Chains A and B, each alone.
Chain A
Amino acid sequence: MIYFLRHETKHEYGHKVDVAAHLLHLTPLQLPWQRVLQMHLHVEPEPSRLVTEVDCFGNATTWLFLDAPHAQFQAVLEARVEVAPRVPPAPAATQAWEDIAATVRAGGPAGHRAAEFTFASPMVAPFAAVHDYVRPSFAAGMPVFTAIHALTLRIKREFAFRTDVTEVGTPLAKVLAQRAGVCQDFSHLMIAGLRSMGLPARYASGYIRTRPPPGGKPLCGADQSHAWVSCWLGAEHGWIDFDPTNALVVSDEHVVLAYGRDFADVSPVSGVILGGGTQKIQSGVDLTEISP
């Protein structure tokens, strides 16, 4: 499947901004199942310095330093990305979830890299209520895939997708109590729950196709940045992605920008400005299939 991706972010300021620095996680990853065929990042105004780095999680980052006064800032990503279907493991072939937790707890060569994603991170700290919420999905000895998949379906079933009840900083306890939110809330909640069980869980930042294939059902979170959860199912199966917003095991309808511990690690566009007054921020995403 080949997609055309366009992600536009625009900041408009009440007064001119004198100096700005932006950190972008806006380059799709090269992965065994995902190839970036072509990519262009257009930034306006012209930054005085643009540097690309790779962060400690392996994501490509772009640094923009703008030293000239400007009233607006715009970053447009355009790319063609080829995504191959990912085949999930047979649920019964995965280890019991307790074994996975024990492996990462022990550390060492087998589990320490995944273990990094079992601890509290800036925006996701496990807490008692979220542990109580996910606990029923984890029967003793259950294969880890089965348990996580069940949790994914439960979140879709029990939470309402509503764009007007949360914002970036809304605490997870509130999301859990009101049983409503958007993809980021569901992802953070699921990550917190999995970590409370001792299981490694990553935050995936990216996109989901805007229009369903003919005959398919429309997807939630399609015209903005999307987020889902990546789970470690042991050394043999590695990281498998689950989308709690759409009750999906991720295959070829998602394009990945970056993986991190939570949104704070991989925010697509973050920054600091000097001056500027009021800020108006807009963004739009289009992910269109251009050939099967």
Chain B
Amino acid sequence: MPPRDELLDDKGRLRGPWRRMLGTLLGLGTEALRERRAEIDRALADIGAPAVFARQEAAHWRCDPIPLLLTETEFGDLTARLAQRATVIEHMLADLYGPRRLLDLGVLPPALVYASPFYLHALRGAAVPRQMGLYAADVLRAPDGTWRVVADRTAAAAGLAYVLENRRVMARVLPELFRHLDVAEVRPFFDAWADRLQHLAQAGQDAPGLALLTPGHEDARWFEHVMLARALGLAVVEDDDLTVRDGALWVKSLRGLQRVHVLLRRQDGRHTDPLELHDAAVAHSGTPGLLHAMRNGTVQVLNAPSSDFAEAPALAAFLPQIARALLGEDLSLASVPTYWLGDPGQRAAALTDPETIILRNALDGNAPGRPWQLMSQAGRAAALAEIGAHGERYAATMVPPASAAPCTGEGDTLEPRGLVVRLFLIADGQGWRALPGGLARVLGEGDIPTGPLPREALSKDVWVLREEGDIVGGGGNLAAPALPIRRVAGDLPSRVADNFYWFGRYLERLDNISRLTRTLLARLARGAPLPHEVPEIATLSACLAEAGVLNQEHLTEKLDYSLAQLLAAAITGDAGPFARMILRVQGLADRLRDRLSGEMHQSIRHSLRSLKGARMALRGGRRVEAGLLMDFCGRCLEFSATVAGYAAENMVRGGGRLFLDLGRRVERAQAVANHLRHALDQPPVRIEAGLALALELCDSTITYRSRYLNVVQPAPVLDLVLSDDGNPRGLGYQLTQARMLLAVLGGGEDAELALLLDPLAAETRLIVADLVAASDQADAAAAMMPRLHAIETELAALSDAITSRYFTLLPMRATGQMVLA
């Protein structure tokens, strides 16, 4: 039979909703349709998904402008069948991790259970209240019009965030389509899910603690984890954020440990606890004691790590018998024909016509399938030999041609393309509740419908059309419980605080090297230096050497190339200090994306991209003009200021913002003290030039002139740069601000760190007082260098103290093992 056409009904007539939708869409005209498609691409690219997936900017998620339409009736029927299937799988998991009746009865062969690396012995016999909170299935419509399951997703089905994003973008780009169709909204499903998780977490006495566990920002699906956590109002946590104490699970936050009652797991089940799971120990992943806490009933992990087992493709061959054995019911939604090759009868059935099969790993639902048709003669012979020796390791699936729907093609044509649809159901306390929508994956030439969602793919939004105006799936109007008001910094995970702190420091460091480099370039650009400029150039070079832009030997050795060339190389070199610093800032911005507003993150990414582009453009010529280099430094300064402005305007004052500010203050305080020390490193007769430079670097020349006109003397300069806490680029201001930030973080109880700043502030005032009292201010100023150096050292110690107070997050490691005799 040819593939079924989604557009046509059983009698071959164009279905009404499709007619209306396509009519509207095609009525826009070819040109407009092409533009809308490009707009969808741009909107999805702007979310930043590709940037999070990988450093390359090429691959990204796409959504076809033509949605897949399903009527409420057909969708309701399909998801009711899926709900029964989810119940069967839930019962199967409960049985295999409990009484094992399916094995006793011989319904399941031992090789399908005990050989699975996803069958976690450590959770057998554990009183886990539920295996699955979320179930998803990949389904397709066969030529006979029936839906069939290609894969069950019981671990941590991917794709939910993409459903939300697809819908958001579609609604924005193609509002006309929604006007003519009554499309069920997807948002209430997420609200109901959030309610359910809140409800589960409220079982205890404490404030409910909920979190989403991600393997971390290196993971390919991190973007989705962040988006999903945001949609559900959960904190995003990684292994190192969690700890098990007193038989319960806690997040290490700034305020101490906070209980987690419900953990939405997005991590491989085998990697959740290194104390009990060998794979986790080998991979150095997981939270020691997590399974112990689960068995204690102090935390509910959804889906349970044990649930990954049910994704085994070969189980499809046994689900009908499992449904009868455990529920006494017939399985109402069948899988595509699937055989377990460990059984002689099934093997014979699969291999009578192998041309149609896809060979799959019997136990691993994420292993890619191998279509027999695409295998070479040698490959087939090898596969047959392997099946003969270890048939129990393989399953064979016969995938019927998937139904097709029109997609926008390369040109202006519409092409029919096969579809596999991922649908999602949650356990909402009463039963299974389906997301009224889903993710349709458009199959390309030679695409295999089994296996994981690809990272780069064309998708379609799935629209469930209401016929009576009801919300499909029912419910969804439940009142959400009022959330307690939270206004504290303490809930921030230490890891996130650490990232904000260093984000602040690196932003400021970029500011510092840009400022120094631009100032020095300006001197060099004027041609042969005037006598008073020589010490200035030496001072700036020394500061740049300390900042890592120049090498010490550049300053001392007789050079064959000019300082200007060195600076050009520092800016344009791919491994140079500017490139490195920009990369660090970008890395931290990406890691913090779940903590930054979408707008702020996008703006940062956008600016960083254009900085990168500007840097690349400079690499063209052999000699780069100083003016262009200075412009680039200016853009870096602008970037740093923009982020600061965004933080000030858009970030809630608390948590991350406090640490970002703190990082900037500490970094800038060190820079100011350092600049000043080098500026004063002059013979007393030249001290005036040094002081002028110090003012310039502190962006304080105008302020100084307004106070003291053109008379440059050590005491008033140092007062402005060092001690005056009203000068936002001076040291005094950084110290005052840092003290205030640390006091807020300490919350009135923990003033230890804030108090470390008092002697520093006193010292800056004392330095100025000593200068004022000195008979010769120039001599006295030159003698201040050791005291400034001491301030720098103290600031470094302060940073260490902040780190050990707030961020120390050593991961736990395994103890050694005795060798046995």
Contacts and interface: CB of A to CB of B under 8 A. Distances in A.
A227 B820 contact: yes
Given A272-B813, A283-B818, A120 B115 contact: yes
B228 to A, nearest CB: 29
A65 B111 CA distance: 36
Contact of A273 (B125, B278, B813): B813
Interface string B225-248: 000000000000000000111110
Given A54-B125, A119-B114, A223-B821, 9 more contacts: A9-B818, A19-B245, A21-B244, A107-B103, A112-B103, A112-B104, A221-B820, A270-B815, A271-B275
A279 B813 CA distance: 11
Contacts of B812: 19, 21, 272-274
B289 interface: yes
Contacts of B274: 272
Contact of B817 (A56, A112, A270): A270
Given A270-B275, A274-B812, A56 B122 contact: yes
B820 A106 contact: no
Interface stretch (A30-38, A45-53, A148-156, A229-237): A45-53
A105 B343 CA distance: 11
A273 B276 CA distance: 14
A107 B110 contact: yes
A138 B385 CA distance: 24
A56 B121 contact: yes
A225 B275 contact: no
**List of 6 A-B pairs having minimum Cβ-Cβ separation, nearest first:** A122-B278, A108-B106, A115-B110, A224-B821, A56-B124, A221-B821
A275 interface: yes
Interface of A: 9, 11, 19-23, 48-49, 51, 53-57, 63, 65, 67, 104-109, 111-113, 115-116, 118-120, 122-123, 163, 166-168, 182-184, 220-227, 261, 263-265, 267-275, 279, 281, 283
B716 to A, nearest CB: 50
B820 A65 contact: no
Contacts of B108: 107
B746 interface: no
Contact of B245 (A65, A108, A168, A267): A65
A48 B111 CA distance: 41
Contact of A224 (B106, B121, B818): B818
Interface string B259-282: 000000000000000111011000
B617 interface: no
A23 B275 contact: yes
A49 B247 contact: yes
Contacts of B814: 270-272
Contact of B114 (A20, A115, A281): A115
A53 B295 contact: yes
B105 interface: yes
Contacts of A53: 292, 295
B810 interface: yes
B127 to A, nearest CB: 11
Nearest to B104: A109
Contacts of B278: 122-123, 264
B588 to A, nearest CB: 25
B288 A118 contact: no
A22 B288 CA distance: 9
Given A270-B275, A279-B815, A118 B810 contact: no
Contacts of A279: 815-816
Nearest to A112: B103
Contacts, number: 145
B100 interface: yes
Given A56-B121, A65-B246, A122 B817 contact: no
Interface in B104-132: 104-106, 108-111, 114-115, 121-122, 124-125
17 contacts: A9-B818, A11-B815, A19-B812, A20-B815, A55-B121, A65-B245, A65-B246, A65-B289, A107-B106, A107-B110, A109-B104, A115-B110, A123-B278, A166-B819, A168-B819, A226-B820, A272-B288
A74 B295 CA distance: 26
Nearest to A268: B818
Nearest to A56: B124
B289 A225 contact: no
Contacts of A271: 275, 814-815
Given A65-B289, A67-B245, A265-B121, A183 B820 contact: yes
Contacts of A55: 121-122
Contacts of B122: 55-56
A69 to B, nearest CB: 13
A159 to B, nearest CB: 14
Given A11-B815, A21-B244, A53-B295, A275 B821 contact: no
A270 B292 CA distance: 14
Contacts of A113: 103
A21 B247 contact: no
A182 B820 contact: yes
A208 to B, nearest CB: 9
A220 B821 contact: yes
Interface string B271-304: 0001110110000000011001001000000000
A109 B110 CA distance: 11
A281 B276 CA distance: 21
A119 B275 contact: no
Contacts of A163: 819, 821
Contacts of A222: 821
A271 B106 CA distance: 38
A263 B110 CA distance: 22
B247 A51 contact: yes
A19 B815 contact: no
Nearest to A271: B815
Nearest to A166: B819
A107 B103 CA distance: 7
Contact of B246 (A48, A183, A220): A48
A64 to B, nearest CB: 11
A269 B818 CA distance: 9
Contacts of A281: 815-818
A121 to B, nearest CB: 8
A118 B328 CA distance: 31
B815 A273 contact: yes
A100 to B, nearest CB: 14
A261 B119 CA distance: 14
Contacts of B288: 21, 272
Contact of B815 (A111, A116, A265, A272): A272
Contacts of A122: 278-279
Given A112-B100, A273-B813, A279-B815, A225 B121 contact: no
A9 B816 CA distance: 11
Contacts of A118: 110, 114
A105 B114 CA distance: 11
Contact of B109 (A107, A183, A269): A107
